[in-house]
Structures are given as C-alpha cells and as structure tokens.
C-alpha cells in the first residue's frame, strides 16, 4: 500500500483592516481602512468621480488635515440612508475616525478638534417624530369656525 502525503497549506497573513462608523441625521457611514496608496472610495466610486464639488470637498476635509496618514492608506466608505449632505457629513466623520484610529496619534485628534469639532464629535440631534394632532411634529391642524 502506498501512503498518502499530507498537503501542507501555507497560511497567508491577512491584511489588517479596521472599520469605523459615522452618523449624521438618518445617514450611517462605515469606513474600512487598510494600508495602501491613498485611494478613497465612497460606495465603490472613487472620490474624484463625485460630481458635486461641495460634497467632494466635505468628504475629503479630514484627508487635507492628515496628508501623511492619508497617503499611506486606502479607505472604502459604505454609506446609506438620509440625503446627500447627511451622507457626505457621515462619510467625513467616519473617515476622520478612521485616520485617527489607524495612526493612533493624539496630536492629529487635537488638530482636527481645533479645526472643526464636528469632525470628531457626532451630532446627536435627530428628527422629532410626528404627533397625531397635527401635520408635523409641533404644528397643529388649523381650526375654521365659519
């Protein structure tokens, strides 16, 4: 009888990936950061390909504050819910958290806090629910007697 040789599998080292979250109004963004060469994608679309210039600048604001870290990593952001600007601000928050978490630099966090507090600290305000005695949350139906 012939003996069967055991095949040895070579385990490849998995690439380190970290996931960070950002919320704004109804929008939720998840940023996955890994070592790379500075490519940023939002919902599988490169940041350069976003048409609206204001949205593009809003999303890329943390990248301008940390160019040394941003050039060494790839960031993939998945965002859903809410409107266009809410999604952009959620992406901005998630990217800022990802850059700080990846670098582990407290000076970078202080730099972002001094630039704009909303880069690091999430805005907790949400839409108030509608009540049954009116058309909106606080407004009431009008009365007409004549």
Does residue 50 register a pLDDT over 70? yes
pTM, whole model, 2 decimals?
0.83
CATH number of the domain at 18-118, out of 3.30.230.10, 3.40.50.2020, 3.30.70.600, 3.90.1150.10? 3.30.230.10
Q: Residue 64 and residue 27: Cα distance in Å, rounded? A: 23
Confidence at 16, pLDDT banded by 50, 70, 90: confident
3-class SS of residue 45: strand
pLDDT digits (tens, 9 = 90+) for 73-120: 999 999 999 999 999 999 999 999 999 999 999 999 999 999 999 999
pLDDT at 20 over 90: yes
Q: Tell me the pLDDT band of 1, cut-offs 50, 70 and 90.
A: low
Strands 40-42 and 73-80: parallel
Residue with tokens 């630099």: 105
Share of the chain above pLDDT 70, in %: 90
Q: Within its chain, how far is the Cα of 30 from the centroid?
A: 5
> What SS3 class is residue 44?
coil
Write down the pLDDT at residue 17: 85
């Amino acid at each position: 009888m012939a003996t069967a040789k055991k095949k040895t599998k070579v385990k490849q080292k998995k690439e380190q990936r970290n996931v960070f979250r950002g919320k704004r109004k109804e929008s939720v963004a998840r940023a996955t950061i890994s070592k790379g060469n500075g490519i940023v994608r939002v919902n599988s679309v490169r940041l350069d390909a976003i048409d609206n210039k204001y949205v593009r600048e809003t999303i890329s604001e943390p990248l301008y504050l940390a160019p040394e870290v941003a050039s060494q990593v790839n960031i993939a952001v998945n965002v859903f819910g809410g409107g266009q600007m809410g999604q952009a601000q959620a992406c901005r928050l998630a990217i800022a958290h990802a850059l700080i978490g990846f670098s582990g630099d407290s000076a970078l966090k202080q730099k972002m806090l001094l630039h704009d507090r909303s880069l690091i600290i999430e805005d907790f305000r949400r839409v108030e629910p509608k009540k049954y005695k009116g058309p909106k949350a606080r407004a009431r139906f009008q009365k007409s007697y004549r």
